[in-house]
Copies of this chain bind each other. A is one copy, B any other.
């Protein structure tokens, strides 16, 4: 049995998310169908984690087991030939039998793009979040630093979701300003459901002056979802990289 690791770019707009689900177009289902078309096998495609409806990926990672003899050099090309243009396998490689996209994952990098121009962008409207009110980027840069390190992010996950522990470590949290776009980047050992979008929403509240940068540690330690900012919409969010 070969174990194939894929790196996958997708435009989240028209999908109900990564996970296979009836009635809704989903990325996992589309790729499994494409793999079946080229190998004749029904495979189980395991991702590093789910992404929600509308969220984009530049580097989602997934793996599947196969008996197929297709040359690894031709694998990405063959799968892509059966896929919609809104999903692209950007790399395929053969890995050790023990490799598991979720369990082997050491960390992830996410990006959230905010367009802070007055009227937003016609061209990139589905690839960013538009905030027409001018944000205080210097304060946002101060605030984001408080998220670095190990914290219990209980207040920064969607309510009603259960996971054993809500303690996560953020290795790097930074903000870059590119003309009228504010780009938030977070690298960490793992992220809770909606965590990046809630952190981004909290940082926007700092930019709006609703929260002071030095109030962040208190908001984190309160573990109270209502103290953090709102969940920003999915079209600004990108899964950039998965680390192994």
Q: Is the CB of B121 within 8 A of A88?
A: yes
Contact check, A11 vs B122: say whether CB atoms are below 8 A apart: yes
Q: Is the CB of B121 within 8 A of A9?
A: yes
Contact with B along A110-150 (1 / 0, CB 8 A): 00000001111111010100000000000000000000000
Q: How far is the CB of A79 from chain B (nearest CB, A)?
A: 10
Decide if A56 is an interface residue (CB 8 Å cutoff): yes
Docked Cα-Cα span, A148 to B11, in Å, equals 38
Number of copies: 2
* A33-56 interface bits toward B, Cβ cutoff 8 Å, 1 = contact, 0 = none: 000000000000000000000001
A77 B119 Cβ-Cβ under 8 A = yes
A90 to B122, CA, bound (A): 9
On chain A, the number of residues with a Cβ less than 8 Å from chain B's Cβ atoms is 23
Q: Are B122 and A86 in contact (CB under 8 A)?
A: yes
Chain B nearest CB: distance from A229 CB in Å? 24
Which residues of chain B have C-beta atoms less than 8 A from A121's C-beta? 9, 88
A4 close to B (CB within 8 Å): no
Cβ–Cβ contact A80 & B10, under 8 A: no
In this assembly, does A195 line the interface, its C-beta being within 8 Å of a C-beta of chain B? no
Ordered nearest first, which 3 A-B pairs have the shortest CB separation? A88-B122, A9-B122, A11-B123
Q: Jot down 14 A-B pairs with beta carbons below 8 A, ordered by A.
A: A10-B122, A11-B123, A11-B125, A76-B119, A77-B119, A85-B120, A85-B122, A85-B125, A86-B125, A87-B122, A88-B119, A88-B120, A88-B121, A88-B122
Residues in A lying within 8 Å of B, measured CB to CB:
9-11, 56, 58, 76-77, 80, 85-90, 117-123, 125, 127
